[in-house]
Amino acid sequence: MENAWTHTTVLLGEAVGALLGTADAPAAPTEAPVYVDATFGRGGHSRLILSRLAPQGSLIAFDKDPDALLEAASITDPRFAIRHQGFSHLGELPPASVAGVLLDLGISSPQVDNPARGFSFRFEGPLDMRMDTTRGTSVAQWLAHAEVDQITEVIREYGEERFAGPIAKAIVARRQARGPLVTTTELAQLVADTVKTREPGQNPATRTFQAFRIFINAELEELQQALAGALKVLQPGGRLVVISFHSLEDRIVKQFIAQHAKEVYDRRAPFAAPKVMQLKAMGRVRPGAAEVAANPRARSAIMRVAERTATRAEGVP
């Protein structure tokens, strides 16, 4: 599919290498491995996985974006299938059936750069921000009715914006005086008029746009569901690879891996066997200087890798 917006996949080789392991020591040895690209996007990771996948293997992709499904239609490899679902549905796959799960969080460059999607304050466009444009409520629709306290909480929690209160009040005051906000530039200008100071080099609307995008797509809640689903569907030795782009996402991933990478003792039953750890943390990776120079959007990326361990029910003595 051709369009004016291209996407450069971040940590492409590192992510696929961590997911699949090496030819001599695959991450989860099996005759017919099943891998999951839970965030297909424009297919950068999926295509590289398929190029290295065993002939009898298979790749299942997930994505909510209709444009991503159009891109996926160009892949004719019979080992590949895509689902028009968010990655919160990952746990619906059979338990212990997957050799590796990849999550590349955030939004893709085509989503940001296409004004019609409403993700960016740099372009005039409808104030939408939905990952799945076929369903759900847009940011403009929500802001047309949300109360000051609701808006404040969203901007503060998901944007970590210290001026959340004044911005929320300005949004509601604008709605009462002139009608609701309907375009990205209207919101960006309102925030710029309200926020008088900002970090050098950062647009005043950056945190507010991030907050509304995360909220309207329930991104953090969906991430938590996806991580729990991955733990369920990964087979022993299977890899979990997650690339995040801001601290809210990375904190959830880091805490999830840490929580499941230790034995847990029940203080109420001190002589009972501990609950065995379910993940083994395998470290984190940041993009190198060359990648950041070639693709500035990679600068905030953090990749975390963990491996599914065997539980007692799966043969741990």
Q: Binding-site residues for S-adenosyl-L-methionine, please?
A: 43-45, 63, 87, 104, 111
Q: Are 231 and 308 in contact (CB under 8 A)?
A: yes
Tokens standing for 240? 């979990």
Q: Are 279 and 309 in contact (CB under 8 A)?
A: yes
Q: Are 48 and 16 in contact (CB under 8 A)?
A: yes
| Cβ burial 231-254 (10 Å sphere, 16+ → b, else e) | bbbbbebbbbbbbbbbebbbebbb
CA distance 168 to 149: 8
Binding residues: 43-45, 63, 87, 104, 111
Question: Residue 145 half-sphere exposure, CB side, CA atoms within 13 Å?
Answer: 4
Tokens standing for 239? 């890899």
CA distance 193 to 156: 18
Element (H, E) at 156: helix 148-159
- 173 bridge partner residues: none
CA distance 147 to 26: 52
Q: In sequence order, what are the residues at sequence separation of 6 or more whose Cβ sits closer than 8 angstroms to the Cβ of residue 170?
A: 190, 191, 193, 194
In what side-by-side order are the strands of the sheet with 80-83? 80-83, 58-62, 34-37, 98-104, 234-244, 302-308, 279-285
Question: Which own/partner pairs from 298-301 qualify as long-range (CB within 8 Å, at least 24 positions apart)?
Answer: 298/8, 298/10, 298/11, 300/245, 300/246, 301/10, 301/11, 301/243, 301/244, 301/245
